[in-house]
A and B are shown apart, each in its own frame.
Chain A
Amino acid sequence: MSIRLLRQALNPDSLTPMWRRPPMKDRYEVVIIGGGINGLGMAYYLAKDHGITDVAVLEKRYIGSGGSGRNTTIVRANYLTPEGVRFYDESLKLYENLTEEFDFNIMLSQRGHLTLAHTDASLRTMRWRAEVNQLQGVNSTVIYPDEIQKLVPHMDLSDRPRFPVMGALYHPPGGIVRHDAVVWGYAHGADKRGVHLHQMTEVTGIDVEDNKVVAVQTTRGRIKTGTVVNATAGWSTVIADMVGVKLPIRTHPLQAVVTEPLKPFLDTVVVSGTLHFYLSQSDRGELVMGAGINPYTSYSLDGTLSFIEGLAAHVLELFPSLAKVRLMRQWAGLCDMTPDYSPILGNTPVEGFLVNVGWGTYGFKAGPVAARRVAEFIATNHMPEVIAPFAYDRFYTGKLVGEKGAAAVGH
């Protein structure tokens, strides 16, 4: 093993790329716009589960450069609605097998996930979520400060904070994963089965005839196709605009920070809706922290000082010992927010133009199930039950799937 490493170090040409750079054809059966977890995942499952390999994934920059490379890596299934819980649980179960399936370590660490409750109303909601979770076979319970303290010795559970912790929703199967590895695993798996990945390829237009998609225009040429899937998250409406499809999406930046590496002291994911933060300690010892979306719509990826100020103040409420810790890096990604904080999957009014969007601030944990089930829909033209509630027409029929409380902390 070490001989091989030495040989490869001395001769870089002997390294096998994880994905090829094939020439772009002028026609594909399926064109997926967006090279993140959903775009690559759909290509992977189309090839692996359905033998559909005449697929192109078009990514305007490098794969995983959007939300898939910018999230804070948390995975969990502890949602509020029965349909939400079923959906996210299927995803978590897929995550549990991905390292084996990819033969590539995605570093899944199911270390436990705590959603703190600071008020009676919040505790009531946690109990509600626990009950719904348990009915769906998902492990979540309500625990109180004495048990929380054992899991997180450094958290201030006294009466000193402005809103003391009263309890928490404890979800043992929740945890973190190496987000880039998941993207690369899907890319490698799709590529080795014949899918074409085209990076640095931007879509500039989509040709529609008689309300049906016939081709995609890109910065590298025109591709004839009858099936286009929009998996561009924060840029969803820019793409949908090319075919005249309206979307109930507003793009908001979501920022995140990492601290300098610290010795391991936190081995649970901690989330507080009241204090608008989520945090975990990575395998490199860095604290990975996030909060709410920027309050105005924007396509800017800049960090802001007000974000750091707000996040630091809230985290220090519960972890005062972190006051001297230095922040190392700050970044942002674009989130496609929907009115009910649930995704939009499947057909649109334009034939052949599908969407896998509306992932907001809660998309990475759902990548596997969304990719697999939308791929199933594309291949079989039969809408799988687990994703049927997330159809585009729910906004017209009024059947929204309200998951704001369980999906986000920015409220």
Chain B
Amino acid sequence: MFLIDCPNIGPRNASEFRFRGEFVERPPNPEDPASDDAWTDFLYMRENKLGVQKEWWYHRPSGTWFIAERHTKTHEIVRTYLWEDRDE
């Protein structure tokens, strides 16, 4: 069991969190029919990286959604941050 540093609360046991998937950028204009493939990619296609992955987590006790950068084999968490604090 590893620890995750919740941006709101601080380091907590991984069992308090729910993994919510790889971070994927939304397509710029989902209403545009020409972007159907981009929408499919957003819904289904994933990088599934063996390495440091940017992903969503949800801290259940505090209701915090945040992003973590975690190595998918060693589970080392490089950093965690709220979406509004991400690098552009």
Contacts and interface: CB of A to CB of B under 8 A. Distances in A.
B37 interface: yes
A300 B1 contact: no
Interface in A137-186: none
A304 interface: yes
Interface string A245-257: 0111111000000
A361 to B, nearest CB: 16
Contact of B73 (A300, A306, A395): A300
Interface string A30-71: 000000000000000000000000000000000000000000
Contacts of B55: 296-297
Interface in A222-259: 235-238, 241, 246-251
Nearest to A339: B44
Interface stretch (B26-34, B45-53, B78-86): B45-53
B19 A249 contact: no
Given A298-B73, A305-B1, A306-B1, A250 B48 contact: yes
A226 B53 CA distance: 32
A304 B13 CA distance: 13
Given A248-B45, A295-B19, A297-B19, A395 B50 contact: no
Nearest to B70: A296
Contacts of A236: 48
Given A296-B19, A298-B75, A300-B73, A237 B48 contact: yes
B60 interface: no
B46 A396 contact: no
A237 B72 contact: no
A110 B19 CA distance: 38
B15 A248 contact: no
Given A298-B75, A305-B1, A251 B15 contact: no
A237 B19 contact: no
B42 to A, nearest CB: 11
A247 B72 contact: no
Interface in A297-316: 297-300, 304-306
Given A296-B19, A299-B72, A305-B1, A251 B48 contact: yes
A123 to B, nearest CB: 29
Contacts of A248: 44-46
Interface of A: 235-238, 241, 246-251, 295-300, 304-306, 339, 395-396
Interface of B: 1, 15, 18-19, 21-22, 36-37, 40-41, 43-50, 53, 55, 72-75
Given A237-B48, A297-B72, 14 more contacts: A246-B41, A247-B45, A295-B19, A298-B75, A299-B50, A300-B73, A300-B75, A304-B1, A305-B1, A339-B43, A395-B43, A396-B36, A396-B37, A396-B40
25 contacts: A235-B50, A237-B46, A237-B49, A246-B45, A247-B48, A249-B46, A249-B48, A250-B46, A251-B48, A251-B72, A295-B18, A296-B55, A297-B19, A297-B55, A298-B72, A298-B75, A299-B50, A300-B74, A304-B1, A306-B1, A306-B15, A339-B43, A339-B44, A395-B44, A396-B40
